[in-house]
């Protein structure tokens, strides 16, 4: 079986299977979860049992249910952030590359200013002032992350905007949006798709880190980083409660990176004609 026109490596298959499982959980959590998201079904840090496969959390909620809902929330927010950051970064990066001149200078100087502030410090300041609601969280991290996407999109746009087919489109009188959407974007798709996976991992971990600090996704919503923080004291008693969400974070991140590495190897692989040469 081939995916993206190439047969996946064993590590890529592992990543694809794990990602598929996570997507099923994200979509069907309300039907797959054993209990309600906030239902108390036992005591504090109950041991795993037939009715609670991973035991309980710090206030007696089912750990498996909380992990499923937490994965759903964290993945959904990370996808929203990554999608918005790519929209902002790609549009502004390609416009900067194609138009050039003072437009390019303005956007690159603005990028330099934003990159001079550490991402975590920037996020902590914004979230501390405006609060940690989900819309604010998505917009704040998306703007921060769009600076990295802008840099890649601008570099790709600079290389592609001098190609003959782009010059031909300009000579035909095609507009800026047509040139970007029909000529540049399709030819930059492969590196952008790979970058999307990497940025998703970064945003996923960033959200989990903010939640661990208490500034990410707020209760009553479950999220993986917050679950690690809330159950951290269980380690002192030799219990596994904080390990489960931590392993979930690591498993998804590693799986996405394995798939991205495979996709990058496909992009770097020479074509048949080049290989024969």
Rg of the chain over CA atoms, in angstroms?
22
Distances from the Cα of 68 to the Cαs of 31, 40, 82, 179, 225, in angstroms? 11, 16, 21, 43, 13
Domain boundaries, the chain: 10-269
- The span from the CA of 267 to the CA of 277, in Å, is 18
Per residue in 123-160, pLDDT tens?
A: 888 888 888 889 999 999 999 999 999 999 999 999 98
Question: Is a pLDDT exceeding 50 seen at residue 277?
Answer: no
Superfamily of domain 10-269: MetI-like (1.10.3720.10)
Question: Is a pLDDT exceeding 50 seen at residue 272?
Answer: no
Write down the pLDDT at residue 253: 94
Write down the pLDDT at residue 4: 57
| Mean per-residue pLDDT over the chain, rounded | 87
Percent residues over pLDDT 70 in the chain: 94
40: DSSP letter: B
Written as six digits, the tokens of 144 are 């921060």
* Residue showing tokens 């990543």: 15
- The span from the CA of 80 to the CA of 134, in Å, is 10
Contact residues for 91 (Cβ-Cβ < 8 A; gap 6+): 180
What own/partner pairs with CB < 8 Å and gap ≥ 24 does 6-10 have?
6/266, 8/262, 9/262, 9/265
Per residue in 110-120, pLDDT tens?
A: 888 888 888 88
Burial, 57: exposed, middle or buried (Cβ in 10 Å; 0-12, 13-18, 19+)?
buried
Write down the pLDDT at residue 243: 93
């Amino acid at each position: 079986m081939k995916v993206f026109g190439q047969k996946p490596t064993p590590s890529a298959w592992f990543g694809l299977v794990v990602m598929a499982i996570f997507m099923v959980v994200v979509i069907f959590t309300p039907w797959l979860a054993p209990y309600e998201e906030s239902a108390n079904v036992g005591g504090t840090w109950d041991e795993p049992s037939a009715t609670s496969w991973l035991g309980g959390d710090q206030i007696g909620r089912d750990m498996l249910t909380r992990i499923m809902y937490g994965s759903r929330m964290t993945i959904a927010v990370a996808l929203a952030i990554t999608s918005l950051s790519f929209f902002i970064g790609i549009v502004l990066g390609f416009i900067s590359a194609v138009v050039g001149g003072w437009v390019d200078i303005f956007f690159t100087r603005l990028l330099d200013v934003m990159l001079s502030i550490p991402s975590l410090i920037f996020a902590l300041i914004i979230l501390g002032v405006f609060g940690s609601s989900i819309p604010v969280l998505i917009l704040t991290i998306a703007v921060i992350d769009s600076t990295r996407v802008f840099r890649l999109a601008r570099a790709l746009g600079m290389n592609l905007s001098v190609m003959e087919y782009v010059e031909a489109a300009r000579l035909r009188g095609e507009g800026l949006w047509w040139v970007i959407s029909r000529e540049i974007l399709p030819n930059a798709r492969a590196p952008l798709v790979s970058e999307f996976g990497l940025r998703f991992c970064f945003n996923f971990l960033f959200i989990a880190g903010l939640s661990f600090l208490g500034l990410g996704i707020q209760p009553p919503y479950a999220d993986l980083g917050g679950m690690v923080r809330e159950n951290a004291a269980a380690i002192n008693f030799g219990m596994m409660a904080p390990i489960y969400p931590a392993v979930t974070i690591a498993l998804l991140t590693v799986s996405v990176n394995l798939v991205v590495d495979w996709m990058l190897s496909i992009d770097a692989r020479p074509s048949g004609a080049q290989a024969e040469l």
